[in-house]
Amino acid sequence: MTTTSHSSEVGLVTGVNKGIGREVVRRLADEGMTVYLGARDGEGGRRAAWKLGGEGAGVRFVQLDVTNEAHIDAAIKNIDEEFGWLDALVNNARIAIEWGDAMDQVTVEQVRRTYEVNVFGAVAVTRACIPLLRRSPVGRVVNLSSPLGSLSLMSDPEHPVSRLGMLAYSSPKSAHISVTPLYATALRESGILVNAVSPGHVATDLNGHRGHRTAEQGEATPVKLALLSADRPTGIFVESENGAVEELVPW
């Protein structure tokens, strides 16, 4: 059932057809927010938005490939013309293309493609949304991330993360994680909160459904961060295995 606590707010979630992104959209809409469902796959995105809308949610599809500047410009123009502001941006779009590959077999092209989506795409969308976020009483940016990008964990020979050796995924994730405190500091005076979150080991297409958590479990903390009040933290990286926003992940 839709609540009214965030009924005047507007959100944008990138990389949505199914999985965690779809659940984030559903939950934000349940909170009363009007949510733009951004998807590269037009048919899949429209189908997801239509289904969520049929359940009574305020969901609107917008064509959005985060590596396509024209898509980004059109999406932001659409939101600006229809509302004029944005309260929450969830950078959910991400890819992983090296599962099972030995690190010495990972190609430069695999690394480049992953950076294009996971880092450059997130930066491009965030940059485009900043003027709209500044018009919100409390703008929030949530970056979906992973402990696989934690330099602390990767440099600990006793930690499982250090033994995975996922060059094309972990390296861009480290870069993506670093974007969070940089934006948080730059946008603090504008009242915009910027945080990173790991949804936990969720079974999705991204990891070949190897995870032990469901998409419904994975969306809990990203949604909490997308609904933060002005007095809450900015520039943090949290884990959502138990849904606790305060559980920090080492950088």
Q: What is the pLDDT of residue 88?
A: 98
Q: Of 26, 22, 35, 25, which is closest to residue 1 (Cα–Cα)?
A: 26
Residues 6+ apart with CB under 8 A from 61: 36, 37, 39, 45, 46, 48, 49, 50
Tell me which fold the domain 10-239 belongs to. Rossmann fold (3.40.50)
In the structure encoding, which two tokens stand for residue 148, read together?
């696989």
| Token couple for 229 | 């009040």
pLDDT averaged per 10 residues, the chain (length 251): 72 88 92 95 89 78 96 97 98 85 86 96 98 97 91 88 85 93 97 89 44 50 92 87 60 79
Residue 169 bears catalytic tag: yes
CB 250 within 8 A of CB 198: no
pLDDT at 209: 39
| Number of neighbours of residue 47 by Cβ within 10 angstroms | 15
In whole angstroms, give the CA distance from residue 60 to residue 56.
Answer: 12
For residue 39, give the DSSP letter.
E
Give the domain ranges of the chain: 10-239
Distances in whole angstroms, Cα of residue 204 to Cα of each of 100, 172, 190, 210, 249 = 16, 19, 35, 7, 21
Question: What pLDDT is attached to residue 29?
Answer: 93
Q: Residue 56: what pLDDT?
A: 59
State the pLDDT at residue 204.
45
Q: Count other Cβ atoms within 10 Å, centred on residue 163.
A: 10
